[in-house]
Structure 1
Amino acid sequence: MRGATAIPDRVVARIATRVTSETLHRLIGPRRAGADLSAPSARATTYGETAQLALTVDLPYPADIAVTCRRLQHEVAEGVARLTGLDVRDVTLTIRRLATFGGPGRVQ
């Protein structure tokens, strides 16, 4: 994207929020759609042709949290890079809360 106009941080953040939402929906699947998950949010910081993202999400529980987080970070980075042409170098993920679904709240 050399020589192109810089994309404002807020635009990259909106794109990241949309990609995060779509990726989460695909990763957690329809069986967990009933979980009470708040919408994800994102912040972006761009430096020339690179970007850093900070995502905040709710995740369903029980789930393999580590695997879900790694896949989410990887897929959001790829999606934002594809849509913006930026090199997404860092995706920081904050889990706002774990939302239980389907059954009793405590699992052993």
Structure 2
Amino acid sequence: MTAVTDPVAAAERGQTRIADRVVAKIAAQAAKEAVGERPKDASVPRATVTVHRDTARVRVSLDLAYPCDIGRQCGAVRRRVTERVGTLAGMQVPEVAVQVERLHPSGAGTAPEGSIR
């Protein structure tokens, strides 16, 4: 093994840049994990991000089963996205906007498809 005689300081070696689409995939997967089981006809959560240096602003669009505590579900998504993007991408996430696209009836007591309550 050869010893390095002229080590380069960390600041001079450069930096790693994580592509926005990678951060978006991490955020979408984190949202999926936070929501848990989805109705059969629900779409997969989607995320868009804006990255500036080591900060990511995230927008997540998803469907939820209903009835549910929508505020609690959105809060869980925000927490999970913030934690996973921070851990996996090393970025701060000061903003996670959650947009609920559709609510899907689930469980007993739901009307058959095509009927009006």
2:113 is the counterpart of 1:102? no
AA in 1 matched with 2:104:
A
User: Among 60, 69, 80, which residue is 2:74 paired with?
Assistant: 69
Considering only aligned residues, what root-mean-square deviation do their CA atoms show, in Å?
1.8
Q: Which runs of 5+ in 2 are unaligned?
A: 1-10, 112-117
Runs of 4+, deviation exceeding 2 Å: 33-36, 103-106
Corresponding residue number in structure 2 for 1:42:
47
Q: Which runs of 5+ in 1 are unaligned?
A: none
Which has the higher relative contact order, 1 or 2, with Cα contacts under 8 A spaced 6 or more apart? 1
Q: Say which SS state the counterpart of residue 55 (structure 1) adopts.
A: strand
The answer on whether the counterparts of 1:43 and 1:54 sit within 8 Å (CA) in structure 2 is: yes
The answer on whether the counterparts of 1:62 and 1:100 sit within 8 Å (CA) in structure 2 is: yes
TM-score by length of 2: 0.76
Matches within 5 A, 1:1-108: 4-25=15-36, 33-105=38-110
Query: Higher Cα Rg: structure 1 or 2?
Result: 2
Corresponding residue number in structure 1 for 2:5:
none
The answer on whether the counterparts of 1:17 and 1:41 sit within 8 Å (CA) in structure 2 is: yes
Pairwise CA distance, 1:34: 4.5
Q: How many residues get paired? A: 99
The answer on whether the counterparts of 2:61 and 2:100 sit within 8 Å (CA) in structure 1 is: yes
TM-score by length of 1: 0.82
Percent sequence identity over matched residues? 35
